[in-house]
Chains A and B, each alone.
Chain A
Amino acid sequence: MTSEHQQWHQLKQNYLKCVEQALASVDSPKTAEILSDVAEHLENKYADLPPEQRTWEAFQQIITEMGPPQEYAELLSEEAPAAKKAIFGINEFLAVVFVVVLMTVGGYMIYNAKKTPPPEPVSKTVEFELDEQVLGKWVTVDFVKTIDEFNPARKTWQGKLFLLSLEFQDNGEVRWQAENRKPMMLEWTKGKIEPFDKRPSFYYLRNIDGQTYLFYEWVSGDVTLRGQEPYYYVLKKEE
């Protein structure tokens, strides 16, 4: 994971945690759904940022534009904001926590940005293990709900395929190319693609009718926050 991606990931997770804590005061059955929607929204915001604009300041701006975590609880509750108690309560406390966390993470990141060497291609948390079978470029041919659903003779996904290709390199980097997006370099090791400190995207190789296919998990907010099973992109080696 690049240092910018790490910064974004940490900032995003901290924000989601604060929102979750704020929503705990409302105790709504919709909490998980809201967190999933917000996580997906944040992922879209990050994806829409051109790579050269993926800076700490830009990430903070995204979080600021999302609004303070306590507002989620206020808006979800049927009780009007004016009816909340005027003394320093849980929402005010969470606002302070949110600001302190933001400043602490920000300060830590800025302090370390000047000291740490340029990021190496392989994450320090996972030892890179080469998988020679996947080296090279794979192009997407389908998008399926389960591996068993895939049929080489009949395309399952009727829409456009968002992920276009994965190109695995022997230095632990994989070139991730999607529709209308600039390519990204992610880290990989045998069997999975980053993030390694959270839920990685696992890949599986299957030989079907004499052809090897790579099944790549699409790990969205529905998977990480709502516990749903991931869909799979199906890729074939580029000839």
Chain B
Amino acid sequence: MYVDNWQTQLRKGMLDIVILNLLSHGACHGYEMVQRMRKIEGLKIREGNVYPILARLQQEALVESETRPSTDGPPRKYFKLTDSGGATLADMNSHWEQMIDSIQHIRKGDFL
């Protein structure tokens, strides 16, 4: 139970960096984004979670949206990284690597 709750909080905290990294590979619409995320082993997202995150990222000007023609239906809203989003993502990825590195050190007991 404790691990489940912790995983839920961890997942929520990670969604920003997950979505920004996904968008760094190219623009996509919300449904497509969720389908890609579902293929990632261990991610276990709640599908609706991406939309408030995308809304917040747009408010922060890290992501922007545009309507594009779709090959299998009416026009769809696509999300893409802004320049500011790309720079912020680079920063976040750097912090992420430092964090993983730090946790590894702690696990090994390097600080003892």
The yes or no answer to A128 lying at the interface (CB within 8 A) is: no
Q: Is the CB of A159 within 8 A of B70?
A: yes
| CB contact between B9 and one of A30, A82, A143, A160 (< 8 Å): that residue | A82
In the complex, which residues 1-60 of chain B have their Cβ closer than 8 Å to any Cβ of chain A? 9, 12, 15, 30-31, 34, 46-49, 51-56, 58-59
Number of A-B contacts (CB under 8 A): 82
A162 cross-chain contacts in B, Cβ below 8 A: 70, 72-74
Complex alpha-carbon distance, A207 and B8, angstroms = 58
Least CB distance, B19 to chain A, in whole angstroms: 11
Docked Cα-Cα span, A65 to B50, in Å, equals 12
- A160–B72 touching, CB < 8 Å: yes
Residue of A nearest to B16 (CB): A75
Interface flag for B109 (CB, 8 Å): no
A residues 178-229 in Cβ contact with B at 8 Å? 178-180, 218, 220
CA distance A72 to B50 in the complex (A): 9
A75-B12, A159-B70 given; A66·B59 CB < 8 A: no
Q: Let me know if A78 is at the binding interface, CB within 8 A.
A: yes
Question: Separation in Å of the A143 CB from the closest CB of chain B?
Answer: 7
Q: Name the residue among B15, B55, B59, B70 with the largest chain A CB count within 10 angstroms.
A: B55
| A81 and B31 form a contact (CB under 8 A) | no
Among A33, A41, A178, A218, contact of B31 (Cβ-Cβ < 8 Å): A41
Residue in A71, A159, A218 whose CB lies within 8 Å of B69: A159
Chain B residues with Cβ under 8 A from A71's Cβ?
12, 46, 48-49, 52
Given the contacts A34-B55, A40-B31, A162-B74, A75 and B49 also touching, CB distance less than 8 Å:
yes
The 4 A-B pairs with the shortest beta carbon distances in the complex, nearest first, are: A67-B46, A30-B55, A76-B52, A66-B48
